[in-house]
Amino acid sequence: MSNVNVRVQFQKWMSHQKKSNGEPYKKNTVTAYVNALKNSSAKLNLPNIPTTDLFEITSLEEFTKIHNHIMAAPNFREVDLSAGNKAYSNGMILYARFLKEREEPSIWIFQGNPKYYDVVGAVDDLDQVTWAVNQYTKQIKEGDEAYIWLSGTGGGIIAAGRVLNNPETREALDDPYRRSNQLNNEPYLAVDIKIEKKLSEDVVERTLLLEDERTKNLEILTYPGATNFKVKKEENKVIKEIINGTYENIPVAVLSGDEKKEEKRFWIYAPGLDSEHWEEFYKNGIMGTRREEIGDLKLYTTKSAIKDKMKEIYGEEFTYRNAGHAAWQFANEMKVGDVIFVKKGLSKIIGRGIVSSDYFYDISRKEYNHVRKVNWTHKGEWEHEGQAVAKMLTDITPYTEYYKKLERNFYDVLNDSDPSFEEEEIRYSDYTETDFLSEVYINKEKYHTLKNLLMRKKNLILLGAPGVGKTYAAERLAYSMMSKKDKSRVQVVQFHQSYSYEDFIMGYRPSENGFSIVKGPFYEFCKKAEPDDRPYFFIIDEINRGNLSKIFGELLMLIENDKRGKELRLLYEDEQFSVPENVFIIGMMNTADRSLAMIDYALRRRFAFYEFEPAFDSLGFKEYQNEVGNVKFDSLIQTVIAMNIEIADDAALGSGFRIGHSYFSSRTEIDEPWLKEVVEYELIPLITEYWFDEPSLISLWSGKLRGAIQ
């Protein structure tokens, strides 16, 4: 029998299971099964089973033996009936399935950042790679399936293989594929992965996985900040279909206006060699691409299939990576409402339009049979600053400043009533006070205090030690005040010691022709909010890390609540500027940061200040703690609460240095390795810094923290 109790894991597993009729198990049914598995065996009075809490039996082989003893008990039927609806016997059947799945080979994604490591080079050159492991260290085992993931734009799965060993400590050796000294040089936990299929020419792209209902919630897509991630069986089935060319997309479900509609994209496009088809396309209100020999692009379910067909028709000597990618994007990723900028060569823009139809294959055309209809809004000639991209079709949406600069080419010929320049109304999911209180561990009274402070003062700073959830609360406070989870009206920036007025408001930046003025995020945000009457929220993390008077400049006066709407001339342009009434500023400040100067008094009087405290005693955290259901976790929390009292009473520290609850909020499974990592690599280093001149206190509390999870 192991020392692990898997009740919480079983409950989570049950939440994803379905009955034979396809319906999920009801919450009260799951609760009945859990209670029966935990408590019913004690009623049998069997002397030959090691424990009556079946969640302490984590081996399928051992459970099978115990199950046979239980079924043979003379009073089994009576106990099963008393549990209600055979919750005991049915629960054991499901628990056996759970243990079986738990012991079967798991599937993992191992991530590499090309900035620090030549992931593609290593995959292409090697048949076996060594990869760091920083989560699920006890669950990864020899024989598990493995994928290698390339992070960044255009990234995704670039190799498939198998784990060759359980995680073990390795020395950091010289590696020819390292690109940065920032990688760990100390011994680290790692596995060897045998590469069985190389996909660097046919990447399973993250965008494709995000757009499929079955893979949109892959761990690596929802929380990418680690080296390795778990893959569910259904997700793995989809990935294998993509790799094998048998994939059919199941689009992400949109819930009757509750979820955000897809925002428009911006593309730069060449209508043929030297834009030779521009006149025809403009006249007929269409855009088209070549490669008509491969037929209707909707017949190809993957990008790889398009590239394979190109190789078959045009020859094997090229990869057709760019051509296949462009064809796939034209048919599948471009949407109605997207903006098209038409280029000629590398230095001129000759038109602009709005996509007005889905892709179709026009068999009546002699060439350029791959077609979309376009509402061409402009035709002329505009200089392109610097060289445009050389490819026929490029998605430039990620390059915000670039596409905005292209849009400005058309402002002088824009009629204010032109609907193509109006932003499309996007529906966002509702977000209420109840949602806020369920996610942020403060009570209703404190929430209303926060809200009223911000409404009255318009500028609010949230104080507190790291880990009390300031940033998380700030964003959700904004959502609750908008009653919508509208991310378009919330912007987050982080100050640092080198941040300046030129970064924040506007300043000169090098350009092709010398220097030009570039607008900063706060200027752009205020201009965006100006024509709207809805509230907008500008959130500044680490607000006291910057020189605030220098960063805000003349805007220091304009952010005051009674100076909103008042205009001042800006430093770099002959322009009268004001901070709109509907812009609210929320700053966050870590009270435990010794290296930071206090916020200056000129800015202090313009903000209200609200201190966030550790929320271990809040109802929300208590409910979360109950859901975790881990005795060692409970013991650790009690130890931290006691330690926070000593920190608050310490004259050199004080309440602003207490340890926050966010250290213990996790979306991953809370098990013994997780608890040990939090203690050894987060809490002990923190208190070592706090009590750097009192080694006896460090030793005392380090021992108590370690003892809490033993």
- Among 511, 582, 496, 504, smallest CA distance to 543 is for 496
Mean pLDDT of 105-117: 88
Residue that finishes a domain, picked among 421, 450, 475: 421
| pLDDT range class, residue 255, cuts 50, 70, 90 | very low
Mean pLDDT of 12-31: 81
Cβ of 121: how many Cβ atoms within 10 Å? 14
Give residue-wise pLDDT tens across range 342-399.
999 888 999 999 999 999 988 888 889 999 999 998 999 988 877 787 888 999 887 7
Cβ of 87: how many Cβ atoms within 10 Å? 22
Torsions phi, psi of 573, nearest 5? -140, 150
- The reply to whether 627 falls in a domain is yes
| pLDDT range class, residue 43, cuts 50, 70, 90 | very high
Q: With 70 as the cut, is the pLDDT of residue 598 above it?
A: no
Judge if 682 and 702 occupy the same domain: yes
3-state DSSP helix/strand/coil % of the chain, to nearest 5: 40, 20, 40
- CA torsion sign for 287, 292, 294, 299 is positive
Element holding 536 (H helix, E strand): strand 536-541
Reading the block at residue 267, the tokens are: 């593309």
Residue that finishes a domain, picked among 565, 592, 611: 611
Judge if 577 and 445 occupy the same domain: yes
How many residues are recorded in the chain? 710
The distance of Cα 289 from the centroid of its chain, to the nearest Å, equals 34
Q: With 50 as the cut, is the pLDDT of residue 588 above it?
A: yes
For position 583, which CATH number holds? 3.40.50.300
User: Residue 478's pLDDT is what?
Assistant: 93
Tell me the C-alpha to C-alpha distance, in Å, between residue 661 and each of 303, 441, 676, 683, 689.
Answer: 45, 9, 16, 12, 19
Reading the block at residue 490, the tokens are: 């919330």
Give the separation between CA 53 and CA 7, rounded to whole angstroms.
Answer: 10
- The reply to whether 561 falls in a domain is yes
Please, where are the H alpha helices in 629-690? 631-649, 672-678, 684-690
List, in order, residues 6 or more apart from 73 with CB less than 8 Å away. Answer: 44, 46, 79
Share of the chain above pLDDT 70, in %: 92
- The reply to whether 256 falls in a domain is no
Give residue-wise pLDDT tens across range 284-329.
999 999 888 888 898 888 888 898 889 988 888 888 888 888 999 9
- The reply to whether 249 falls in a domain is no
- The reply to whether 394 falls in a domain is yes
Judge if 506 and 607 occupy the same domain: yes
Torsions phi, psi of 156, nearest 5? 155, -160
Q: With 60 as the cut, is the pLDDT of residue 259 above it?
A: no
Helix (DSSP H) and strand (DSSP E) numbers for the chain: 26, 24
Measure the CA dihedral 366/371/376/380, to 10°: -50
Reading the block at residue 387, the tokens are: 């060289």
Judge if 182 and 280 occupy the same domain: no
Across 219-233, 404-418, 643-657, least confident range: 404-418
For position 276, which CATH number holds? 3.10.590.10
- Among 96, 118, 113, 110, smallest CA distance to 160 is for 110
Across 208-222, 285-299, 511-525, 546-560, least confident range: 511-525
Judge if 529 and 481 occupy the same domain: yes
Give the separation between CA 551 and CA 549, rounded to whole angstroms.
Answer: 6
Do residues 277 and 271 lie in contact, with contact meaning Cβ atoms separated by under 8 Å? yes
Residue that finishes a domain, picked among 84, 103, 122: 103
User: Residue 192's pLDDT is what?
Assistant: 95
Give residue-wise pLDDT tens across range 475-510.
999 999 998 888 889 999 988 888 888 888 888 877
| pLDDT range class, residue 631, cuts 50, 70, 90 | confident
Give the separation between CA 35 and CA 203, rounded to whole angstroms.
Answer: 46
Judge if 694 and 546 occupy the same domain: no
Mean pLDDT of 651-670: 80
Domain range for 349? 266-421
Judge if 500 and 642 occupy the same domain: no
Judge if 150 and 194 occupy the same domain: yes
b/e for 255-272, b at 16 or more Cβ within 10 A? eeeeebeeebbbbbbbbb
Q: What is the mean pLDDT of the chain?
A: 84
- The reply to whether 168 falls in a domain is yes
Judge if 528 and 458 occupy the same domain: yes
The number of domains in the chain is: 5
User: Residue 256's pLDDT is what?
Assistant: 38
Judge if 539 and 594 occupy the same domain: yes
Q: Is the pTM of this model over 0.85?
A: no
- The reply to whether 258 falls in a domain is no
Please, where are the H alpha helices in 329-469? 400-408, 433-439, 444-457
Judge if 70 and 51 occupy the same domain: yes
Judge if 188 and 56 occupy the same domain: no
Give the residue carrying structure tokens 């046919």. 202
- The reply to whether 253 falls in a domain is no
